[in-house]
Chains A and B, each alone.
Chain A
Amino acid sequence: MPLLKVHKLTKSFGGLTAVLNVAMELKQGELVGLIGPNGAGKTTVFNLLTGVYVPTSGSIILDKGDAQQELQGLKPHRICKAGVARTFQNIRLFKDLTVFDNVRIAMHKNVQYGLLSSFLHLPSYHREEKRISEATMELLKIFNLDGKKDEYAKNLPYGEQRHLEIARALATSPSLLLLDEPAAGMNPAETAQLTELIKWIREKFNLTILLIEHDMSLVMKICERIYVLDYGILIAEGTPDEIRSNKRVIEAYLGEDVGDV
């Protein structure tokens, strides 16, 4: 069984069908790309996978080996608990909170003390807070943000905000990580660095990653497989080499450079 199995996933907004009968399978440990022209429905797929939107029809099944769970129709926090985390295309950090708090808040689902302990600061509170703080610092170090832990998220440069979003997603200890255009707005050097980082965290955290990206250099370099979406429909699936030479993909991207990467 694959880690994620998406079957006939469809989402309509009134008259507009943004995603139609999309089928996907992600195996444990894979790094898969999801590409397509503007407005193809990529972000909508992420919103469906994370419960921000409820699918019009279709199913999403997460299978972590020991337990199988249907995700469609679940609230976002339940899906997060099941092990799916994401970043957002339009960065959605907790802007007026510190870098440290942004990550620490995302540890919430694994916090082991109850309300009583939070009111009275019982020993379990102190024990857990210490553990969360340490885990938060560890994550921040990975992203080179430990030196800026007390800064407000909104004051970080753009590239670091994107890094912080990934760190925050990792704090929920996911099995499946969804990255929505992580390199958007980055220069080539930053993108190259991000590429390495994504590869590295996949190993380190034993992740399966699905990644939306317009930067073909990044996609073609690190994705093992790629899905191509156009007008809400999957038009191709395959290795980067197969996708590069696929006629329908070239047509969909007419005017954009896919072939010359």
Chain B
Amino acid sequence: MKGTLSAQLIRKLILVVLAYAIVQLLISVNIINDYLQATLTTICINIILAVSLNLITGFTGQFSLGHAGFMSIGAYTCALIILKNPTTYNFLLGTLLGALLAALVGFLVGLPTLRLRGDYLAIATLGMAEIIKIMFINMDKITNGPRGLSGIPRFVNWTWLFIFTVGTVLLIRNFLKSSHGRACIAIREDEIAAETMGINITWYKVLAFVIGAFCAGIAGALYASYFYFIKPDIFGFLKSVDILVMVVLGGMGSISGSILAAILLAVISTLLQSFSEIRMILYALILIIIMIFRPQGLLGSREISLSAFNRLGKFFAFEKEAK
């Protein structure tokens, strides 16, 4: 048992390293050019955003429309730090500080608002994100107001993207496979039953918000230090909806679903870059179609796992033999 377990682990590790190396190679021989790299970056950032919102909304069952607010805190914090002192060390420090600040705000907002349920909570989180946005607009001296910050030095490369994306996804996945994560899932299923079974529901709701906000802060920092430019408008209501769309599209309560959706939507919107109006119409269309045919999202609450691929492999091998 133990032997096979570590063998599995090693196989996974090899796959992860391989994925990193292949992309790195493609970048160095310029098959993945600057344009594709931007798409790659968007995908990674969206994966972090979608998976972390899924923790809050899909797994813990707390409807949130404020994820872009948490993201903006990470973006501004990191941007301000590296604008002043552009070193890799400061980029990492800025990312960490941005994530921590976002988590702190998640905590402060979470405590009072998590007594609310469903629509009310959604409205409260929406309000929170708008307040954060307005603060950035009004702190003119520091944030340059609505014009935003430009010329942010770029420290984000494939290596950092990979580390942060795989890191956050792994941490959230591990959390969800623990008793603490299962406590969050129990809250989604039935709050009264959960708390009667010994789960401190307020604590776990706030915790989900704090972890989710922390990761969104990281995503914001990566965004700022890749795309050179941020302004409050980028992190508005529409961005929060964008993230929610990925979560719903992939499946509430499915990490692999969120990853799949993040990739899919990034690819679609890159393909449609030149007509951005149609992009939003397409979004709406895709959502409506999925709501009709797969109300539970692409993957529902299931996960794609390595063993699923193995099974698939065996299945095809069997098919061949049969022929």
Number of interface residues of B (CB under 8 A): 26
A120 to B171, CA, bound (A): 7
Chain A neighbourhood of B177, CB < 8 A = 121
Q: Determine, out of B39-47, B124-132, B189-197, B276-284, the stretch whose residues face the partner at the interface.
A: B189-197
Q: Is the interface of B mostly helix, strand, loop or mixed?
A: helix
Known: A94-B186, A96-B189. A118 touches B197 (CB 8 A): no
Whether B181 contacts A92 by the Cβ 8 Å rule is no
Interface size band for A: 35 or more
Neighbouring B residues of A86 by C-beta, 8 Å: 196
> A107: shortest Cβ distance to chain B, in Å?
7
Does chain B have a CB within 8 A of A108? yes
Contact, CB under 8 Å: B175 / A108:
no
- Say how far A206's CB is from chain B's closest CB, in angstroms: 19
How far is B178's CA from A169's CA once the two chains are assembled, in angstroms? Answer: 20
Tell me, yes or no, whether B3 is within 8 Å of chain A by CB. Answer: no
A101-B182, A107-B179 known, 13 other contacts, Cβ within 8 Å: A52-B192, A75-B195, A77-B195, A92-B190, A94-B186, A96-B301, A104-B182, A115-B180, A118-B179, A129-B178, A132-B179, A169-B197, A172-B198
Q: What would be 17 A-B contacts, judged by CB atoms less than 8 Å apart?
A: A76-B195, A77-B195, A77-B196, A77-B201, A80-B195, A80-B196, A105-B182, A105-B183, A105-B199, A109-B198, A115-B175, A118-B180, A121-B177, A121-B178, A129-B178, A168-B197, A172-B197
CA distance A90 to B174 in the complex (A): 33
Whether B193 pairs with A92 at a CB distance below 8 angstroms is yes
Picked from A52, A77, A94, the residue with its CB within 8 Å of the CB of B189 is A94
Asked if A106 CB lies within 8 Å of chain B CBs, one says yes
List, in ascending order, chain B residues with CB within 8 A of A108's CB: 179, 182-183, 186, 197-199
Cα distance, A6 to B73, chains bound together (Å): 51
Beta-carbon contacts of A162-201 to B below 8 Å, as 1s and 0s?
Answer: 0000001101100000000000000000000000000000
- Which A residues lie within 8 Å of B180 (CB)? 115, 118
Q: Closest B-chain residue to A80, C-beta based?
A: B198
Please pick, from A52, A75, A96, the residue contacting B200 in the complex, using a CB distance under 8 A: A75
When the two chains form their complex, are residues B181 and A93 in contact, meaning their CB atoms are under 8 A apart?
Answer: no
Q: How far is the CB of B41 from chain A (nearest CB, A)?
A: 25
A118 adjacent to B175 (CB under 8 Å): yes
Q: Is A97 an interface residue (CB 8 A)?
A: yes
Smallest Cβ-Cβ distance to B189: which chain A residue: A94
Instruction: Tell me, in angstroms, the Cα distance from A111 to B178 when the chains sit together.
Output: 10
**How near does chain B come to A165, taking the closest CB pair, in angstroms?**
9
Asked if A227 is at the interface of the complex by the 8 Å CB criterion, the answer is: no
**Residue of chain B at shortest CB distance from A109:** B198
- Shortest C-beta distance, B220 to chain A (Å), equals 21
Contacts of B301 in A (CB 8 A): 96
**Min CB–CB distance A214 → chain B (angstroms):** 22
Q: Which residues of chain A are within 8 angstroms of B174 by Cβ–Cβ distance?
A: 118-121
State whether B197 touches A105 (Cβ < 8 A): yes
Contacts of A119 in B (CB 8 A): 171, 174-175, 178
Instruction: Determine the residue in chain B with the shortest Cβ distance to A153.
Output: B189
CA distance A205 to B271 in the complex (A): 63
8 Å CB interface, B153-209 against A: 171, 174-175, 177-183, 185-186, 189-190, 192-201, 207
Q: Does A247 lie at the interface of the complex (its beta carbon under 8 Å from any beta carbon of B)?
A: no
- Report the bound CA distance from A132 to B180 in whole Å: 13
Given A75-B200, A76-B195, A119-B171: A97 touches B185 (CB 8 Å cut-off): yes
Q: Is the CB of B175 within 8 A of A93?
A: no
Bound form: Cα–Cα A96–B180 in Å: 18
Please provide the 8 A-B residue pairs with the shortest distance between their CB atoms, ordered closest to farther: A118-B178, A109-B198, A80-B198, A94-B189, A76-B195, A92-B193, A111-B179, A106-B197
